[in-house]
Structure 1
Amino acid sequence: MIITCEKCRTKYKIADDLLGKPELKVRCHKCSHRFIVYRAAHAEDSFLLQDEVHPDYSRVIAISNQKGGVAKTTTTLNLGAALAKMGKRVLLIDFDVQANLTILLGFRKTRSFYEVLTGGVKNIGEAVVKTKYANLSLLPSSSKMALLKKKYLSQHNFEYLLRDKLRTIQDSYDHVLIDTPPSIEFFTLNALVAANMVIVPSTCEYLSMHGVSQIHDIINVLKKSINQEVECKVLITMYDERNTSEKVICDKLRQTYRDNLFRTVIGKDDKMQESHIVNAPISHYAEKSSASLQYMQLAQEIVG
């Protein structure tokens, strides 16, 4: 049968043969709401144990902000690596023509979403490559991706291209993370439509904060047009608590977004830049560094 979270209304499929006590406390994987499920008199009204409760979709997360230089790619890579270290099956999607995520993982001249749409590969799974890190795969980007915007932007329902292709493989992953360019256009719209969660990285500066509000406005419009619930949360990045102006803007972000702000804050860390130079996630380059621990904390916050 199916049980439904009392708070966010997410539905969970359960198996009839997994019976236990007359009642059990469970936690929603999506919103972390805890509630009690009671076993009814009929077998079809049984429930699943907490550790066996899974949503009937993969968590697809777009990392987006119209402002550049706010650690979108850094967050995609290091959050993905942290989730993979927790044993989650993770797919990273580089949806930026600059292909920085692809380069950081040491790939060049690979197939990308361009080949998926133009017939260079039979399906999206053939374009996915395994990284050298356990549980971490990548759908790379390439310079050819720039041609997609010109070809498909004027077509009806172009914003559903990624979502429709991704549905054929996303059940193979626990989390799909999509890195987006610093603009609202073909690639970002496809990522937002495909996602059921959006992380908006923001540094503590005015223009970045303005980009956060723009993403929130766009997501609210998308919710109505595609009739899909999308969770949107702000992540403070590259934070320097010694800087007075950053502390002021950080407080402003907390006041404005409250429950839609991650508790985890990613601070400035020189080890992060070093990890980029050696093409490695921070958790594999400097596991005990503050940034590594913070991204692991963020992963735990997302998983609950």
Structure 2
Amino acid sequence: MEPTRNRLIELLETSDYEYVSGQFLSDKLHISRSAIWKHMKELEKDGYIIEGVPRKGYRIVKSPDKISANTLHWGLKTNWLGKNIIHKPTTKSTQLIAHQAAQENAEHGTVIIADEQTEGKGRMERRWHSSKHKGIWMSIILRPSILPSAAPQLTLLTATVLADVITEQTTAEAKIKWPNDLLIDGKKTAGILTEMQAEQDRIHYIVVGIGLNVNQTSDEFPGIINDRAASLKSATGEDQPIVPLIQQLLLKFERSYDTFMHHGFSKVQTKWESYGYRIGETIRIRTNHKVLEAAFTGVAEDGALLIETGEGSQKIYSGEIEWF
């Protein structure tokens, strides 16, 4: 049924809000006029407002911007990513559902998405505030044929995808703060959490979690993070339609992932460095009870931060970095 409904949406949307006759739809889809009517009723349940006029036909008056498996599938132009979507109105964390689904053999490219998370988390078990209908709270299940040591490259890849989508779809300018945050005007707008189940030489699956603040106003962030958090709306002054944003994110992720799997990390590395926050500047790093000042020069293939000191080039895997 779903491919038929997907095609029906395409036919209605390409008509540019003009009427499309029931007979034309019936001929194109090879189904009866009464079947067309039943599909229209299902579309209305998902938030489409459709006008039907005798002897004129049907037209879409308004498309929904509510997240559901259906609204995300309609118009999604990916080949494999998001063909299986698990949508939850509310959940503790999409990461938890993704791990469970992956252990139950969910296919590569399965997407878990929620309207809100009650216990969203970032790196180091930090809390991620995920308010209802205001952002993109999503996890992607991947089963890549790469070594576990290469998994950090997928965090860097995801960051470049988010930066591209923000830059291309809005007037905001995104920067990537190593290792996994997206900033707009120096404030955190998105975070990435990559977790995996693996043996020494083989990945069973990877779950890439994405949290992106979309339509919060600046006063909607909890007091403790209010001066450090931003959304696409607070940065641009404009509401952003969430469904098309998710579809664009999935399409760009699929293309970047496929390129990465065929051609390796070099393009990801170059793109990441073009968005890198404070790249080329001197930063201060606290590690093992000592403070180091060094030039931030880029990222290594294993995801490490590259710095240049008087003693030469070094890799940093962890440490407290004074970014601001």
TM-score using structure 1 length: 0.28
Q: Whose RCO is larger (CA < 8 A, sep 6+)?
A: 1
- Structure with the bigger percentage of helix: 1
Please identify the structure whose Cα radius of gyration is greater.
2
